[in-house]
């Protein structure tokens, strides 16, 4: 990090001669101003690491405040700490809890188009919801047209949540979507004007391919040996020097990188103009007047709970055909005439419905013809689908990402056409709806094979339908579906698998169990 005093009002605002924007982050150990080259940061990205209480959020807030007037910003905020930037610096605060994934994809695109700084507030969502919505918003930032590739600082707090090194409690689909979006940000974002700034409590929990793309580092107080060793390696320090990270005070960091300093530099982060809504815990004396009867108050009987609501059976997922027919130009014209009192026209013929369905399924089939399509996130495929629909003049069709996910699940299972209209198949989809969304495709694939009397699909086919390259994971999903009481799996004398659907009494023909690892 460059050293030097701030000797003019212009330099104090972060502007050096030669059109280099320098952000003052704080003071070095010698008392000199420690500045960050913002233009260099846009090209090289930044990784911030420190245990809880080390001052990471304060550092990010200082960086955001000092650069707010120079570059557009987007903040992925899992705890709602940065929403206060909106009042002081005009950031648009987006409460992700109330927005759909598709709306967040569009919000990311529009934010870049109109160059509006944003804070995506993920507070109130569970872990899976945070991953899915953050991935959708990042996809929108990433997929915007080339003409809108303006420079943008993308700050992700608690990055280990969104780019985990290993699988956690969330579904694989959510983890893959979030990890893919973070990888795009850090690995491919530079050419699109996106500069990733990621902060994490644990380097060991952060995916290495995401962390490896950063060229600038700010390392704060760290206690675990594995994290200290990684921090020392990133800073080019000897392992015996790693112990120094335990002794750093709150707000003190070691800096290294082309935008910071060519040699490890100790600095203290300067003050900020805004504060987090959640103030740090401080000691507070207990009230002088205590309760007269603490036992009666603390252990009072719980209020009567209302009777549990009647369980509603799962509903079949809606057919996208109805949405497409309703959105077709002819349908809009009929609706307009009906509102004006004209004669009501007959509904579209079965032939027209079948033709429309075939066109939509053809568009999706062309997307899935790519061998890698099975391993891309639904939000990425959805953008491709919308573009192809516009080309085929079906742009008024599916506008809901959730509806597209259902259609994608069916397509990956090979289900479509007249089969969807059969009463027996509606029973299948009622049972599939009881499973997690990312597992429904495997159940539908089994049901289709059983209905047609075809051999049971192999593990490789199940893996592709699930969107994974791991045959072991596909087998675990199959075991989970069996645990739910929906199927029974058997192996015949030749080692081939037969799967029977409980209640429907459909059974597949014997099929080979194994398969090659999906490439």
pTM above 0.75, yes or no: no
Q: What is the pLDDT along the chain (519 residues), one digit of tens a residue?
A: 443 333 333 333 344 434 578 889 999 888 888 899 999 999 899 999 888 888 888 999 999 999 999 999 999 999 898 999 998 999 999 999 988 888 898 899 999 999 999 999 999 899 899 999 999 999 999 988 888 999 999 999 989 889 888 777 788 888 888 998 999 999 888 889 999 999 998 877 888 888 888 889 888 888 777 777 777 777 777 666 666 777 788 888 888 889 988 888 888 999 999 988 765 556 778 777 777 788 887 888 877 655 544 444 444 444 444 544 454 444 444 434 333 333 333 445 556 666 766 777 777 778 777 777 766 766 777 777 777 777 777 654 455 677 777 777 778 777 776 677 677 787 888 888 888 877 888 888 898 898 888 999 998 888 888 777 778 878 888 888 888 888 888 888 888 999 998 877 789 999 988 754 443
What pLDDT is recorded for position 8? Answer: 31
Q: What is the DSSP letter of 435?
A: S
**Which top CATH class is 37-269?**
alpha beta
Q: Which DSSP string corresponds to 237-255? A: --GGGGGGGGGPPTTEEEE
pLDDT at position 374: 66
Provide the pLDDT for residue 353: 60
pLDDT at 325: 46
Count CA atoms within 13 Å of residue 279 on its CB side: 3
Q: Are strands 194-200 and 152-156 parallel, antiparallel or unpaired?
A: parallel
How confident is the model at residue 473, as a pLDDT? 79
Phi, psi of 323, rounded to the nearest 5 degrees: -65, -40
Check if 37-269 and 423-519 are the same fold: no
Distance CA 69, CA 91 (A): 11
- The domain locations on the chain are 37-269, 315-412, 423-519
Q: What is the CATH number of domain 423-519?
A: 1.10.10
d(CA 215, CA 258): 7
Residues 14, 155: Cα–Cα separation, whole Å: 19
The Cα–Cα gap between 317 and 433 comes to 7
Phi-psi region of 403 (alpha: psi -120 to 50; beta: other; left: phi over 0): alpha
- Long-range contact pairs involving 349-358 (C-beta distance under 8 Å, separation at least 24): 353/321, 353/325, 354/418, 356/321, 356/324, 356/325, 356/328, 357/321, 357/324, 357/416, 357/417, 358/417
């Amino acid at each position: 990090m460059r050293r030097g005093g701030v000797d003019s009002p212009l330099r104090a605002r972060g502007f050096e001669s030669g059109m280099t924007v320098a952000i003052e982050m704080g003071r070095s150990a010698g008392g000199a101003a420690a500045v960050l080259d913002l233009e260099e940061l846009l090209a090289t990205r930044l990784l911030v690491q420190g245990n809880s209480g080390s001052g990471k959020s304060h550092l990010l807030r200082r960086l955001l405040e000092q650069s707010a007037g120079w570059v557009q910003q987007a903040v992925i905020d899992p705890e709602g700490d940065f929403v206060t930037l909106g009042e002081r610096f005009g950031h648009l605060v987006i409460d992700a809890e109330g927005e759909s994934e598709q709306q967040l994809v569009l919000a990311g695109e529009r934010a870049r188009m109109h160059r509006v700084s944003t804070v995506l507030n993920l507070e109130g969502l569970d872990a899976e919801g945070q991953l899915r919505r953050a991935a959708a918003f990042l996809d929108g930032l990433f997929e915007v047209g080339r003409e809108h590739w303006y420079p943008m600082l993308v700050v992700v707090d608690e990055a280990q949540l969104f780019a985990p090194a290993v699988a956690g409690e969330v579904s694989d689909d959510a983890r893959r979507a979030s990890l893919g979006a973070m990888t795009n940000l850090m690995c491919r974002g530079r050419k699109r004007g996106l500069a990733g700034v990621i902060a994490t409590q644990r380097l060991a929990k952060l995916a290495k391919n995401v962390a490896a793309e950063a060229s600038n580092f700010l390392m704060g107080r760290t206690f675990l040996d594995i994290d200290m060793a990684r921090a020392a390696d990133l800073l080019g320090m000897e392992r015996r020097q790693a112990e120094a990270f335990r002794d750093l005070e709150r707000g003190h960091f070691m800096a290294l990188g082309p935008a910071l300093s060519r040699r490890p530099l100790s600095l203290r982060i300067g003050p900020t103009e805004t504060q987090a809504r959640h103030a740090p815990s401080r000691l507070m004396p207990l009230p002088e007047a205590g309760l007269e009867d603490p036992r009666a108050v603390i252990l009072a009987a719980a209020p009567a709970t209302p009777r549990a609501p009647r369980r509603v059976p799962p509903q079949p997922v809606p057919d996208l055909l109805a949405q497409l027919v309703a959105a077709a130009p002819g349908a809009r014209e009929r609706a307009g005439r009906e509102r004006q009192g004209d004669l009501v026209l007959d509904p579209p013929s079965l032939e027209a419905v079948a033709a429309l369905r075939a066109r939509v399924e053809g568009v999706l089939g062309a997307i899935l013809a790519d061998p890698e399509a099975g391993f891309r996130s639904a939000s990425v495929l959805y953008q491709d689908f919308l573009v192809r629909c516009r080309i085929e003049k079906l742009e008024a069709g599916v506008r809901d990402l959730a509806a597209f996910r259902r259609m994608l699940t069916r397509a990956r299972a090979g289900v479509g056409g007249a089969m969807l209209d059969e009463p027996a198949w509606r029973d299948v989809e009622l049972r599939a709806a009881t499973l997690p969304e990312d597992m429904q495709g495997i159940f539908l694939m089994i049901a289709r094979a059983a209905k047609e009397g075809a051999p049971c699909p192999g593990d490789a086919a199940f893996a592709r339908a699930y969107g994974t390259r791991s045959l072991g994971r596909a087998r675990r999903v199959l075991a989970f579906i069996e645990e739910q009481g929906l199927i029974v799996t058997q192996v015949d004398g030749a080692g081939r698998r037969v799967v029977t659907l409980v209640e429907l009494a459909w059974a597949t023909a014997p099929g080979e169990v194994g398969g090659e690892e999906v490439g």
